Amino acid sequence: MESTSLVKALALLEATAAQPEGRSLAALAAEVALAKPTAHRILKTLSTLGYLERGEHGVYRQTPRVQRLVSNRVSDRLLAASESILRQLHITTQETVNMAALRADQIVYLLVLESTQPLRRVATPTSTDPFYSTALGRAIAAHLPGNEYAALLKHSKFIQRTPHTNIDRTLLNDILVEVVREGYSLEVDENDVGVTCIGAPLLELGYPLGAISISVPTARATGDALSRLIDNVRGAASQINHNLLLARTSVEPPGLTPLVNRATGSVASPAPLSEPH
């Protein structure tokens, strides 16, 4: 059992916790009694997965992703910061409102507030959809650090869900760059024919903990109506991000810097929801 890669990886993670400012390959290998090439291979894998980062002078240190593993459940924090805002968004738009987080290459719905209108897209909490074909997944993926995004692509199989689904990875990257620039994601008929979704990321120190979206029949998502829904989603996400910032009770350990990702890392000021006309 002691010779497995899992045990070695956990030992290296424990060793990196001893000095938040970072430790060298030689020091880590010596502490856990591994040959340098073996330790380097495991450290590289942990860095690719986003649990470690290689800092200046070649030292390895833990990222905020490790801290999230041992902190309060992300879903509980998201719900606490967002539930009242999402219920107001639901009342304001009268459309289906969703919140989700990324698990492997799927988005998992944490909260679904269904529209009472006859035409609607229905999802249920704990149900899943692919990240690449959903506004929720794109909003999250667009803000992942480069190594996590690369790992996500590597382990994802793109399947044509509808005739409109984009399965071109190069085009997806262009779409995600646009998501960061505009502050929202848009998906039309790619996950379900006849359904348009508008999403926005939920960020903590620039890292995407999850995303929210509105699902609406494509026939109702045109012109001024679409513009208002985009404003609604972006405004709600901004308010939730502000709540997440306020709810933080501690800063990152000394020497641990926020992950560099595709976004600016800033948290926008809360914006009001737009009332329907």
**142-185: per-residue pLDDT in tens?**
999 888 898 888 888 999 999 999 999 999 999 999 999 999 99
What domains are defined for the chain?
5-62 (1.10.10.10), 72-247 (3.30.450.40)
**Distance (Å) of CA 19 to CA 24, 71, 269:** 10, 19, 35
Is residue 69 pLDDT above 50, yes or no? Answer: yes
pTM of the model: 0.70
DSSP state of 198: E
CA–CA separation, 151 and 155 (whole Å)? 6
Residue 130's pLDDT is what?
92
pLDDT of residue 183: 95
Rg, the chain, Cα only: 20
Share of the chain above pLDDT 70, in %: 83
* 255 pLDDT above the threshold of 50: no
Coil, strand, or helix at residue 250?
coil
**Residue 204 vs residues 42, 145, 148, 207, 255: alpha-carbon distances, Å:** 28, 13, 16, 5, 18
Q: What mean pLDDT is reported for the chain? A: 83
